[in-house]
Amino acid sequence: MSLSSWPTGSAICFGGDYNPEQWPREVWDEDVALMREAGVNLVSVGIFSWAMLEVREGEFDFAWLDGLLDLLHRNGIAVDLGTPTASPPAWFFAAYPQARVVAKDGTVQGFGSRGMASPSSPEYRRAATRVAGKLAERYGSHPAVVMWHVHNEYGAPVGEDFSAAAGTAFREWLRTRYGSLDALNAAWGTAFWGQRYVEWEHVGLPSATPSVANPAQRLDFARFTDHQLRACFLAERDAIRAHATQPVTTNFMANECPTTDLFAWAREVDVVSNDHYLTAADERGHVGLALAADLTRSVAGGRPWILMEHSTSAVNWQPRNVAKRAGEMARNSLSHLARGADGILFFQWRASRSGAEKFHSAMVPHAGTGSRVWREVVALGAALERLAPVRGSRVEADVAVLWDTESFWAQDLEWRPSVDVQHRERVRAYYERLWRDGRTVDFVEPSQDLSAYRLVVAPASYLLRERDAANLTRFVEQGGTLLVSFFSAIVDEHDAVHAGGFLAPLREVLGVAVEEFLPLRAGETTRVAWAPAGVAARTLVADVWQDDLVVDGAEVVGTHLDGPAAGGAAITRHAYGAGTAWYVSTRLDVDALEPVLEQVYADAGLAPTGLPQGVEVVTRHGEDADFVVAINHTSEDVKLALGDGQELLGATAVAGTLDLPSGSVVVLRTAPRRPGGDGRP
């Protein structure tokens, strides 16, 4: 998309979900006046309005929406128009009870909540595309409408569906995938436990079973679930495109929704958008935010994206919904912007008085406009206006972290060697180490061209296809630095252990072989003697896992001091081709990873950033300027030397160092370090 086709033109999008159907008409006028006060330029409308738009089956009422869009347009507020298909009306479920989602144990998920229907239901597919098409037909040329927002958070609140319709669709999907039952029997390894199929009609969903279900069937069911959800999106998108030309998006939940493979989804949308909420229990939630933002930019292929939902303060659906404090909303928003977001929107405009989410914060909170939250919303709107020059600039990264949704699906299945090995935990730990070290990170699929990166980290590549392992090997051979964490390259795409054993496809590049897994008992910790050449020796504390490692060419830089692998290699480094490959065979926490990554950076030619702990700095590269965003998450004021230029938020000139008080953000416009940027549109 060219800059000129951005939904809000040259402005950064600012606004939120707007659900005026919850309020009397007189409130609408107040809303619009407040939106203007806050600088809102984009609202998402109609996301849960199916029952208001199609009152009974086939009986449409657009009058209220006509009026609403006109009102917004008159006030200069653009509309991201939702299709309401995330929550079909009561009449739909009454007419088509077979379209209800069924849980694994057979429990039917009824109406009265956020009412997702079965993504495999033909009745749902028909009804959803009809209402989407009707909306596009009516509003495809409405001047307020600048973008289409299909559905809402595909995969939430439920993704997997065990209905009869899903069973039928699963068989069809498998027939297409495998062609023959012989191929399916081979892929699923049905010789184990006597599961061989002789008729397609006998193949079913992995519903409740006496023991664990076939893992390859489970993995295919995860692929199927993602496919069915995406098929729903594609059907709606195409129904819209038949009548409208505005870009189409759907809001992702990066790193939070296990049923969608966002790299695949991002290829189907015109603009990537994402929802992000802090995990209240996480005292370093801003690191999780950065991870989600980097992931969103990565699935978008580096293109600018929209933060479609986040919260002004607390949410309502976590066990303890910690509120944000002064300045936190701005720090969150500008961290997203630093990592590529060209739109900052909230759920939702005005806090609901009723319903399941009444305790969710909003731009206009229950306390009204006399509140801290409202004042900060207005200030954020003003700040984003000042940041308009950032629009369209790009983030570039030297470091990539592997992200393979299929690997995560496979690792999440039952009966893995240790319940303590969790891909989310490992990805977060390595990401947080990189974050603390000031590294800007892309997430990449293992099949991607990696030549743009100096360092690739693979924290959780349990499922790794041979051809992807070859891609990693080639990367090292050609001079790259690779770090692989334990429990990687174990199985192929059918969750079958690689011929040659664990880690076999990476054995050559890593110079080690895994003879056996040595999981530790609950709570057990071990020590690693860390002693690479030329570095002061240290002892690192580890837990959860050890390998019985056979060193075959690699240099041992860390040795287990205790545990079942006592005396054996814990961390290895292998010069291979023009590059270097590291293997870390135990679980080190973020602190213990510090000295290891320090050496890895040296191999990768990455100089220390010298940033104070807790200060986040990310650069966006524009066509004729760079924009350095710096965020101080600490309780101390700091000084930074980020170059000379213009600080955009305060509109002050900077030469030499700048002050970054505790909790504050600066955006420094400097001369581009790479003149002309990266030349991408």
Q: Does 51 bind a second copy (CB under 8 A)?
A: yes
Task: Name the helix (H) or strand (E) containing 54.
Answer: strand 54-56
Q: Name residue 149's beta-bridge partners.
A: 82, 249
Phi-psi region of 585 (alpha: psi -120 to 50; beta: other; left: phi over 0): alpha
Residues 550-579 that bind a second copy (CB under 8 A): 564
In whole angstroms, the minimum distance from the beta carbon of 312 to a second copy comes to 10
Rounded to a whole number of angstroms, the minimum distance from the CB of residue 292 to a second copy is 21
Q: Which of 396, 420, 425, 466 touches a second copy by CB under 8 A?
A: 420
Tell the smallest beta-carbon distance from residue 350 to a second copy (Å). 12
In sequence order, what are the residues at sequence separation of 6 or more whose Cβ sits closer than 8 angstroms to the Cβ of residue 170? 120, 203, 204, 205, 221, 224
Please list every residue from 125 through 164 that binds a second copy, using CB under 8 A.
Answer: 156-158
Give Cβ neighbours of residue 103 (< 8 Å, ≥ 6 apart).
Answer: 109, 158, 162
Instruction: Give yes or no for residue 44 binding a second copy (CB under 8 A).
Output: no
What is the distance between the alpha carbons of residues 487 and 74, in angstroms, rounded to a whole number?
A: 58
The distance of closest approach from Cβ of residue 456 to a second copy in the complex, given in angstroms and rounded to an integer, is 26
Peptide bond into 157 cis (omega under 30): yes
> With contacts defined by CB under 8 A, how many residues of the chain interact with a second copy?
121
Contacts of 249 (CB under 8 A, 6+ apart): 80, 147, 148, 149, 150, 269, 270, 271, 272, 273, 306, 308
| Residue nearer to a second copy on the CB measure, 280 or 575 | 280
Instruction: In angstroms, give the least distance from the CB of 458 to a second copy.
Output: 20
Catalytic, out of 160, 256, 309, 328: 309
What is the smallest separation between the CB atom of 195 and a second copy, expressed in angstroms? 6
| Residue 206 binds a second copy (CB under 8 A) | yes
Establish if 437 lies at the interface with a second copy (CB under 8 A).
no
Residue 669 near a second copy by CB under 8 A: no
State which residue, 51 or 611, has the beta carbon closest to a second copy: 51
DSSP, residue by residue, 187-223: HHTTTGGG---S-GGG-----S-SSPPPHHHHHHHHH
Q: How far is the CB of 199 from a second copy (least distance, A)?
A: 7
107 binds a second copy (CB under 8 A): yes
Segment (H or E) for 248: strand 248-249
Of positions 303, 366, 527, 633, contacts a second copy by CB under 8 A: 366
Q: How far apart are CA 651 and CA 233, in angstroms?
A: 43
Binding mask 613-652 for a second copy (x = CB under 8 A): ----------------------------------------
Single out the segment in contact with a second copy by CB under 8 A; choices: 35-43, 309-317, 335-343, 655-663. Answer: 309-317
Establish if 409 lies at the interface with a second copy (CB under 8 A). no
Taking the complex as a whole, the smallest distance from the CB of residue 559 to a second copy amounts, in Å, to 17
The span from the CA of 294 to the CA of 97, in Å, is 41
Q: Are 42 and 343 in contact (CB under 8 A)?
A: yes
Does the protein bind a second copy through residue 304 (CB under 8 A)?
no
Helix, strand or coil for residue 168?
helix
Q: Which of residues 316-345 bind a second copy (CB under 8 A)?
A: 316-317, 319-323, 325
Residues making up the chain, counted from first to last: 681
> Does the protein bind a second copy through residue 63 (CB under 8 A)?
no
Could you say whether residue 279 binds a second copy (CB under 8 A)? no
User: Across 448-596, where does the E strand assignment appear?
Assistant: 455-458, 481-485, 512-519, 525-530, 538-543, 545-551, 555-560, 569-576, 579-584, 587-588
Nearest CB to a second copy, comparing residues 108 and 641: 108
Q: Is 284 in the site for a second copy (CB under 8 A)?
A: no
Member of 75, 195, 447, 559 binding a second copy (CB under 8 A): 195
503-522 footprint of a second copy as x/- string (CB under 8 A): ----------xxxxxxxxxx
SS3 assignment, position 658: strand
Q: How far is CA 386 from CA 161, 310, 329, in A?
A: 46, 21, 17
Rounded (5°) CA angle 208-211-213: 65
Q: How far is the CB of 226 from a second copy (least distance, A)?
A: 18
Q: Which is nearer to a second copy, 466 or 623 (CB)?
A: 466
Q: Which of 277, 56, 45, 34 is nearest to 148 (CA)?
A: 45
Q: Which residue of 124, 170, 173, 188 would you call a contact of a second copy, by CB under 8 A?
A: 188
Identity of the residue numbered 110:
G
Decide if 623 is catalytic: no
- By CB under 8 A, what part of segment 217-256 binds a second copy? 217
Nearest to 528 by CA among 576, 471, 467, 592: 592
CB of 157 or CB of 179, closer to a second copy: 157
Q: Angle CA(346)–CA(348)–CA(350) in degrees, nearest 5?
A: 135
At 506 the three-state DSSP class reads helix
H or E element that contains 23:
none
Told to judge if 309 belongs to the known catalytic residues of this protein, a careful annotator would answer yes
Which residue number, 552 or 624, has a Cβ lying nearer to a second copy? 552
Contact between 61 and a second copy by CB under 8 A: the answer reads no
Among 137, 270, 548, 589, binds a second copy (CB under 8 A): 548
Query: 153, 236, 256, 376: which one is catalytic?
Result: 153
Minimal distance, residue 582 CB to a second copy, in Å: 22
Report, as residue numbers or ranges, the catalytic residues. 153, 309
